[in-house]
Structure 1
Amino acid sequence: MYLPEHFEETRVEELHRIIAEYPLGTLVVNGPCGLDANHLPFELDTSAGKHGRLMAHVARAKPVWTEAKDGDDVLVIFRAADAYISPNWYPSKHEFHRQVPTWNYQAVHVHGKVSILDDERFVRGVVARLTRTHEARSESGKRPWRMTDSSKDYIDAKLAAIVGIQIDIEKMIGKSKLSQEKEERDRINAAEELRKRDERIISKAMLETTGKKGR
């Protein structure tokens, strides 16, 4: 990933926040048939190891768990909110006519070693924790769905059809492209235009960032 200094995101807590709030990651492996990408919701354990650990599950029918071997290097890509930025939103454009369109976004690339865990206890725990986390977000004020809402035989059959994946994180590379290289008035006005269009997440991130001129 091309990473100019002024877009580099080094705050570990911010990298973890992006992963936690946008947990659908793209797992990239280099298997016997070449590069392959799978889109999976991940659980992040920040207390495991030096950099943390990712856990997920895949359908047994997916080839990724047989193509990736324990200890293989893998990449997981997480992307937060993003938005198109029009040059017309920069006050300086109307004075000097020296701006072009761009796209703002935040992303985290996680590099690590993968382990394949065909273990019922592991996948049961991952499913339970992912369900608890995301039901809490989606069912505010209502009783969240639980695994015990279904019969034991039904849940056992579903768990038997999935395989666990664990990734021990070796490094995280973060990019927050939020118009840091622009004049403050340009960045603030562009953020305000996004807010008007209900792009509130990326707008807020732009307003909270510190401007840094590119080198």
Structure 2
Amino acid sequence: MYVPTAFQESDPAVLRQIIREARLCNFVTATQEGLVATPLPLFLNADEGEHGVLYGHLAKANPQWKMTSIGDALAIFVGGHAYITPSWYASKAKDEKVVPTWNYEAVHAYGPAEFFEDADRLLDVVTRLTNLHESERAKPWAVSDAPADYIKAQLRGIVGIRMPITRLQGKRKMSQNRNAEDRAGVARGLAESDRMMDRYVGGLIPLEDR
């Protein structure tokens, strides 16, 4: 990922936050048959290993797990993102030397992909993933709510993923390369949008110079 200095994000806490809030990633492996990618919800165990470990699962019918990987796998997480119109820049009125762009957060996590079929490990991953995403609900659903035999049968149809993170690369492009007036205009424009994601990104625009 190309990361200009102005947009570089290296704070581990921020990177973990982006991963957790993005929730869904594109899980990519390089194989002798070419690149293979699967959209997957992965969860991060930040307390395991130097940079944390990602866990999840994919369908056993998905051939990705059977294809020999070349080098590390890549999990691509995209956080908040929004289109930025030049009309929001105060500098537009001066010389019209402005163009559209896109603001976004992204984290690339690299590491060796490990696949497993052990039923106990799979149940642990499925349970933790479910609890994570059910936790905000008033009445959370739990894996144990379903009949044990049914869950056992479902586990036979998936394969677990464990990816120890060896390297994290983060980018937070939030108009840092614009002057304070332009950034204020972007934040104001996004705040007035009907899109929830736009309003979220608007709150990430730095209004003061670092």
With the shorter chain as reference, the TM-score category is over 0.9
Contact residue 187 and residue 207 of structure 1 kept, 8 A: yes
TM alignment of 1:42-81, pairs within 5 A = 42-68=42-68, 72-81=71-80
Q: Report the 3-state secondary structure (helix = DSSP H, G, I; strand = E; otherwise coil) of the residue aligned with 1:190.
A: helix
Contact residue 58 and residue 160 of structure 2 kept, 8 A: yes
Q: Which digits, 9 at most, give the CA deviation of each residue in 1:120-150, with x for residues without a partner? A: 111111110111110123x2x2x21111221
* Offset of residue 191 of structure 1: 1.1
TM alignment of 1:1-215, pairs within 5 A = 1-68=1-68, 72-137=71-136, 139=137, 141=138, 143-197=139-193, 198=195, 199-207=198-206, 211=209
* Offset of residue 108 of structure 1: 0.4
Rounded Cα–Cα distance in structure 2 between residues aligned with 1:148 and 1:92: 58
Q: Which runs of 5 or more residues in structure 1 are unaligned?
A: none
In the superposition, the TM-score normalised over structure 1's length comes to 0.92
Give the count of matched residue pairs: 207
* Offset of residue 183 of structure 1: 0.3
- The 4+ residue runs of structure 1 with deviation greater than 6 A are none
* Offset of residue 54 of structure 1: 0.4
Rounded Cα–Cα distance in structure 2 between residues aligned with 1:125 and 1:148: 12
Rounded Cα–Cα distance in structure 2 between residues aligned with 1:25 and 1:119: 24
* Offset of residue 154 of structure 1: 0.7
* Percentage of identical aligned residues: 38
Contact residue 29 and residue 74 of structure 1 kept, 8 A: yes
Q: Which digits, 9 at most, give the CA deviation of each residue in 1:157-190, with x for residues without a partner? A: 0011111110010110001010001001111210
Q: Report the 3-state secondary structure (helix = DSSP H, G, I; strand = E; otherwise coil) of the residue aligned with 2:102.
A: strand
Are the structure 2 counterparts of residues 64 and 44 from structure 1 closer, same or farther at C-alpha, using a change threshold of 3 Å?
A: same
* Offset of residue 96 of structure 1: 2.2
Name the Cα RMSD after superposition.
1.5
* Offset of residue 72 of structure 1: 4.3
Q: Which runs of 5 or more residues in structure 2 are unaligned?
A: none
Rounded Cα–Cα distance in structure 1 between residues aligned with 2:144 and 2:62: 26
Q: Report the 3-state secondary structure (helix = DSSP H, G, I; strand = E; otherwise coil) of the residue aligned with 2:163.
A: strand
Rounded Cα–Cα distance in structure 2 between residues aligned with 1:132 and 1:203: 30
Q: Which digits, 9 at most, give the CA deviation of each residue in 1:44-66, with x for residues without a partner? A: 01111111100010110001111
Rounded Cα–Cα distance in structure 1 between residues aligned with 2:68 and 2:80: 30
Are the structure 2 counterparts of residues 68 and 206 from structure 1 closer, same or farther at C-alpha, using a change threshold of 3 Å?
A: farther
In the superposition, the TM-score normalised over structure 2's length comes to 0.94
Q: Report the 3-state secondary structure (helix = DSSP H, G, I; strand = E; otherwise coil) of the residue aligned with 2:175.
A: coil
